[in-house]
Amino acid sequence: MKELAEDAKVSIRNVRRDANKAIDQAEKDKVLSEDERDSLKEQVQEMTKDYENKVGDMAKSREAEVMEN
C-alpha cells in the first residue's frame, strides 16, 4: 500500500513539474506577467500539497482497514 501511495505522490510531483515548466514558458513568451507566474506557481504548489495529503490519508485509511481484517 505504501508503494502505491508513493507512486501516486511521484506522479503528482511530475504533474507539478510539468505545470511549472508550462507556467515558466508562458512567462517567457510574454503571455503571463511575473506576478501572474508567481501566483499560478503558488496555486500549483497548494494543489500538490492537497493531493499528496489526500493520497496519504487514503493510504492510512486503507492500511488500517486491511489491518482490521
Spatial distance between the Cα atoms of 41 and 24, rounded to a whole number of angstroms: 9
What is the per-residue pLDDT for 68?
87
Q: Which cell is 43 given? A: 496555486
What is the per-residue pLDDT for 69?
74
What is the per-residue pLDDT for 1?
82
Spatial distance between the Cα atoms of 58 and 34, rounded to a whole number of angstroms: 36
Q: Spell out, as residue ranges, where the chain has pLDDT lower than 50.
A: none
Please return the burial class of 23, using the count of CB atoms within 10 Å of its CB with bins 0-12, 13-18 and 19+: buried
